[in-house]
């Protein structure tokens, strides 16, 4: 038996608040259940709305790295995955790019998707 879910596109900030409240109520639902399916659909709709209305532009990897450093109480000298404090400073200033090795190492250290550090 199928469970009909009353979801609709998220077009306004109010729609977003309602979707987020419903997601919170569904949090922890088992995948493959009607509630789990509703949660998945709502997550996709919220992501689409946020991508349209609040896109993350270039340089988001540096912003993410700064956030991860702040959240973990780290300084530039605490990131041997990137290199010396000088190299980290250049990356954070946008003068140098993270390479694939850096991104993989940072993703593993902070237990995030490598996409976060790009």
Residue 7: how many other CB atoms lie within 10 Å: 14
- The model scores a pTM over 0.85: no
For residue 9, give both structure tokens.
Answer: 């596109």
Tell me the per-residue pLDDT of 38-97, one tens digit each, with 9 for 90 and over.
998 998 998 889 888 877 655 577 888 899 999 999 999 999 988 899 999 999 998 888
d(CA 95, CA 85): 14
Are 42 and 11 in contact by the 8 Å Cβ rule? The answer is no
User: How remote is the C-alpha of 110 from its chain's centroid?
Assistant: 13
């Amino acid at each position: 038996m199928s469970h009909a879910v009353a979801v609709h596109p998220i077009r306004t900030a109010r729609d977003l608040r309602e979707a987020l409240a419903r997601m919170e109520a569904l949090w922890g639902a088992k995948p493959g259940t009607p509630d789990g399916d509703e949660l998945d659909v709502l997550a996709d709709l919220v992501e689409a709305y946020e991508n349209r209305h609040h896109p993350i532009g270039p340089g988001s990897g540096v912003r993410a790295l700064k956030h991860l450093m702040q959240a973990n109480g780290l300084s530039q000298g605490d990131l041997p995955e990137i290199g010396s404090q000088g190299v980290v400073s250049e990356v954070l200033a946008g003068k140098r790019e993270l390479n694939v090795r850096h991104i993989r190492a940072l993703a593993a250290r902070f237990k995030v998707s490598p996409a976060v550090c790009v």
